[in-house]
Structure 1
Amino acid sequence: MKTGGLLLCLCCVLFISFTNPLPEKQKAGITQTVFGKMPDGREAHLFTLTNAAGMAVKITNYGGYIVTWTAPDKKGKQENITLGVPTFADYVKGTPAFGPIIGRYGNRIAKGKITLDGKEYTLTTNGSGNHMHGGKIGFDKKLWAATPVNGIEPALKLHYTSPDGEEGYPGTLNVDVTYTLQKDNALRIDFKATTDKPTIINLTNHAYFNLSGMKRDVLNQQLQIKADQFLPTDASQIPTGELKPVAGTPFDFTKPTVIGNRINDTTHTQIKYGHGYDHCWVFTDQSKKLKLGATVYEPQSGRFIEMYTTEPGVQIYTANHLNGKIQGVEGVPYTKRFGLCLETQHFPDSPNHPNFPSTTLRPGETYQSTTVYKLSVK
Structure 2
Amino acid sequence: MSALPVRLRLLLCGDAVSAIGIGLTQPYLVILLHTGKGVPLATAAAMTSLPALASFPGNWLSGALADRVGGHRAMTAGLVATIGGLALVATAGHPVLLGVAVAAVGFGWSVALPAYSALIAALVPEEARSRAFTLQYALFNAGMGAGAAVGAVVGVTGTLWWVAAATCGVAVACVWAARSPAPPPDAPAPRSGGYRAVARDRALLRVLLVAALTAAAGYGVYNAGLPVVAVRSGDPGLMPWASVVNCLVIVAGLPVALRAAERLRPPQLVAVAATVWSAGWLLCVVLRGWVALPLAAGLMGIGELFLSGALPSMVNALAPDALRGRYNAALTVAMTSGMWAGPLLAAAATALDRVWLLFALAVALLAVASRVALSGTRRTRCPAGR
State the TM bucket, normalised to the shorter chain: under 0.3
TM-score when scaled to structure 1? 0.25
Higher-strand-fraction structure = 1
Q: Answer with 1 or 2: which has the greater Rg.
A: 1
Higher-helix-fraction structure = 2
TM-score when scaled to structure 2? 0.24
